[in-house]
Amino acid sequence: MEPGFADAQVTIVGLGLMGGSLAAALTSRRACRRVVGVARRPLTLRTALDLRLIHEGTTDLQEGVRQADLVILATPVRDILAKLEIIGPMLKPGSIVLDVGSTKKAICEAMAALPEHVQPVGGHPMCGKESSGLTMAEPDLYQDKVFVLTPLPRTQPAALRMVQSMVEAVGARALLLDPERHDRLVAAISHLPYMLAVSLVNAAESLADGDDLMWQLAASGFRDTSRVAAGDIRMMTDILMTNRPAILDALHEAKMQLSRLADRLERNDLEGLTEAMQAARNKRSEMF
């Protein structure tokens, strides 16, 4: 662990599931000197203080970040982009800004405009739940999960090591990745599943045609496949708007795969259907 991290003040902006879980992990493990929370609502701060997730809280962004060694932006992506436009002059020299947004290209481009006295690092922990909010926070959310880091060309090695220490402190595994490559990969394994789950639920609703027995019959297969459709809509809207090209590519590929399956079924092509299902089964078994 980077020697300075134990003495660092970490300010977490946004105390929802991700930010609250980070705060919980850092405080419960006594990983750093002080954890400060910044939130829009005083009630959120009172809850975080009562749960001992943070040492101090404020609704004033400037007050919360001015003495921070590491600032973590844990709000929806477009809010992160907005805060990156204003936060630079509030920060002391040498401070580090990390985000936990689900898309990286747009955020890293915005980080490049931060003042020279600030060290930027993009980040995306590969974890979460469909339930959101501070009350869903848990200190072990990041344990054994991949935490993608996308440092900028200007990011100094010491700053990256400090962020890697934070990642290690919450039990996660750091993985360095180019922002564009990150966005392309997560479009396939994270954003596309959400869109498919939305399509599945809406298709089932349409096919039910008012017959409520449809939902009584739905069992674990439907629940598992549609689970992510219950996710935070604001968060997902931000993701869709900031990773449009990669998500559209993924959707077009999925549409083509569905068309192939429909075509084989229409032609009663049992061999072709079996081949496609077997390939998917083999890959799924290989991965998990």
What are the E-state strand segments in 101-201? 119-125, 146-151, 173-176
Question: Do 171 and 186 fall into the same domain?
Answer: no
∠ CA 150-196-256, rounded to 5°: 95
131 has pLDDT over 80: no
What is the tens place of the pLDDT at every residue in 237-277?
999 999 999 999 999 999 999 999 999 999 999 999 999 99
pLDDT value of position 194: 97
Residue 84's SS3 state is: helix
Q: What is the CATH number of the domain that holds 206?
A: 1.10.3660.10
Can you tell me the mean pLDDT for 91-96? 97
286 has pLDDT over 60: yes
Question: Do 201 and 171 fall into the same domain?
Answer: no
Phi and psi angles of residue 115, each rounded to the nearest 5 degrees, phi first: -60, 155
Question: Do 196 and 257 fall into the same domain?
Answer: yes
Q: Which domain holds residue 168?
A: 3-177
Question: Do 100 and 233 fall into the same domain?
Answer: no
pLDDT value of position 51: 94
State which amino acid sits at residue 180. Answer: E
Q: Are 172 and 125 in contact (CB under 8 A)?
A: yes
Structural domain ending residue among the three candidates 142, 160, 177: 177
62 has pLDDT over 50: yes
What is the tens place of the pLDDT at every residue in 37-56?
999 999 999 999 999 999 99
Question: Do 82 and 164 fall into the same domain?
Answer: yes
pLDDT value of position 1: 44
Given CA atoms 135, 140, 144, 149 in this order, what sign does their dihedral have? positive
Cα–Cα distance measured from residue 78 to residue 242, given in angstroms and rounded to the nearest whole number? 8
Cα–Cα distance measured from residue 265 to residue 268, given in angstroms and rounded to the nearest whole number? 5
3 has pLDDT over 90: no
Question: Do 166 and 212 fall into the same domain?
Answer: no
Question: Do 202 and 258 fall into the same domain?
Answer: yes
Instruction: Kindly state the percentage of the chain with pLDDT values over 70.
Output: 99
Number of domains in the chain: 2
Cα–Cα distance measured from residue 187 to residue 96, given in angstroms and rounded to the nearest whole number? 27
State which amino acid sits at residue 160. Answer: L
Structural domain ending residue among the three candidates 177, 208, 230: 177
Can you tell me the mean pLDDT for 202-220? 95
Are β-strands 119-125 and 146-151 bridged in parallel, bridged antiparallel, or unpaired? Answer: antiparallel
193 has pLDDT over 60: yes
Cα–Cα distance measured from residue 231 to residue 220, given in angstroms and rounded to the nearest whole number? 18
CA 171 to chain CA centroid, Å, is: 16
Q: What is the CATH number of the domain that holds 64?
A: 3.40.50.720
Least Cα distance to 25 among 210, 166, 201, 230 occurs for 166
Q: At what angle do helices 244-266 and 270-287 cross, to 10 degrees?
A: 140
Question: Do 149 and 55 fall into the same domain?
Answer: yes
Q: Where are the alpha helices (DSSP H) in 2-96?
A: 17-28, 42-50, 61-65, 77-86
Structural domain ending residue among the three candidates 135, 151, 177: 177
Q: How many residues does the chain have?
A: 288
Q: Are 105 and 180 in contact (CB under 8 A)?
A: yes
pLDDT value of position 220: 94
Question: Do 86 and 188 fall into the same domain?
Answer: no
What is the tens place of the pLDDT at every residue in 161-187?
999 999 999 999 999 999 999 999 999
pLDDT value of position 202: 97
Question: Do 120 and 54 fall into the same domain?
Answer: yes
Q: Are 162 and 218 in contact (CB under 8 A)?
A: no
Confidence of residue 59 (pLDDT cuts 50, 70, 90): very high
Confidence of residue 89 (pLDDT cuts 50, 70, 90): very high
Question: Do 170 and 191 fall into the same domain?
Answer: no
